[in-house]
Structure 1
Amino acid sequence: MSIEKITLGAGCFWCVENIFARIEGIVSVVSGYADGDIINPSYEQVCNGTANHAEVVQITFDTTLLDIETILTVFFAIHDPTSLNRQGDDIGSQYRSTILFHTTEQQEIAEARIAQLNSTEEFEQAIVTTVKAVNNFSSAESYHQDYVTNNPENKYCQLVVARKIQKFLSEFSHLLKSEEQAISAA
């Protein structure tokens, strides 16, 4: 087993965490805050913009089972990387699209992927995703961890997150952990 981490911001972390936790080779996914001005901000500080942090997930993965290219393919498919400081109805810099790399190899791969997507005009507009070294990461409060699973009655989860998860499942079912594959086939 060879372990790496990457930190990604793609809007509300509840959805991103739930999707990546389903993928074979993902060891853990932690919802949190990063790329801001203060250490260990609260959810309220992030939401009101005083911390300048993004909602992110820190993904730990086994590189013998999953590569960074696949992670980035999923990342760019599950959100709008051309929308500045916004994902759907979630508006604010805390919802920015960002790749916070942990290695120079991750940086190079992310920058090359963005250049490739822009050159092929896969998206109608240019990608605004930032690529930076991870800084000031802290875990979100415990109630944010595994939020979708623990709060299935939440209207945001039912209306917004469920749609994104279904899109992911229809496009990436081949990436699911074996127990997820069995559940989705049933």
Structure 2
Amino acid sequence: MEKATFGSGCFWCTEAMFQRLKGVSNVKSGYSGGAKDNPTYKEVCSGDTGHAEVIQFDYDPNIISYDELLEVFWKTHDPTTLNRQGNDVGTQYRSVVFYHNDSQKALAESYKQKLGDSNIWPDPIVTEISPLNVFYEAEVEHDDYYNQNSSQPYCAFVVAPKVEKFKKIFEDKLS
């Protein structure tokens, strides 16, 4: 098993999608890329810690490749909006790949370049590609959040439509 860490806006949305992929397990919401040790959700949401909301998970490269994970990452959020995904605004919602090794770095940079060259989006891709220094797990109430709270208004109106769209696009990769 290998690890991957991505930030693409609210970690509840990202977790809900990646935990449905074949070959992916142990999806955890958390924080990375900031200056404060052991930040809390409230501190990260303030935007003062520098952390991004991220997910970290294990994946089996014999079942799903890092390139396939990058495809899911880039197709399930807008990588052209700086520090924003929909109504979620702030550095904590930035688009970021935290790589675990040189291979992940090279693949992420190559994928980003290809997308940029393709002009799929009218604006440039602003996704940050940075080494993973530390991953702090979010508080336990964020574990499996969408599945446990699907009737909560944010989940019903923001997360659910993203998950449904994701399931249609990546039907062949679902567990």
Superposition TM-score tier, normalisation by shorter sequence: over 0.9
User: Residue in 1 aligned with 2:123?
Assistant: 125
User: Residue in 2 aligned with 1:138?
Assistant: 136
CA distance in 2, matches of 1:97, 1:121: 18
User: Residue in 2 aligned with 1:21?
Assistant: 19
User: Residue in 2 aligned with 1:62?
Assistant: 60
1:26-41 correspondence to structure 2 within 5 Å:
26-41=24-39
CA distance in 2, matches of 1:27, 1:165: 17
CA distance in 2, matches of 1:152, 1:75: 22
CA distance in 2, matches of 1:106, 1:39: 25
Does 1:99 pair with 2:110? Answer: no
Residues paired across the two proteins, number: 175
CA distance in 1, matches of 2:130, 2:39: 19
CA distance in 1, matches of 2:141, 2:156: 18
Deviations 1:54-92 (A, max 9, x none): 000002101111100000001011100000000000000
**Contact persistence 2:150–2:160 (CA under 8 A):** no
CA distance in 1, matches of 2:82, 2:96: 10
CA RMSD of aligned residues (A): 0.7
User: Residue in 2 aligned with 1:154?
Assistant: 152
- What TM-score does the superposition give when structure 2 sets the normalisation length? 0.98
For residue 28 of structure 1, report the CA deviation from its aligned partner.
1.6
User: Residue in 2 aligned with 1:9?
Assistant: 7
User: Residue in 1 aligned with 2:47?
Assistant: 49
Deviations 1:108-144 (A, max 9, x none): 0000000000001111111000000012210000000
Runs of 4+ in 1 over 3 A off after TM superposition: none
AA matched with 1:113: Y
CA distance in 1, matches of 2:113, 2:120: 11
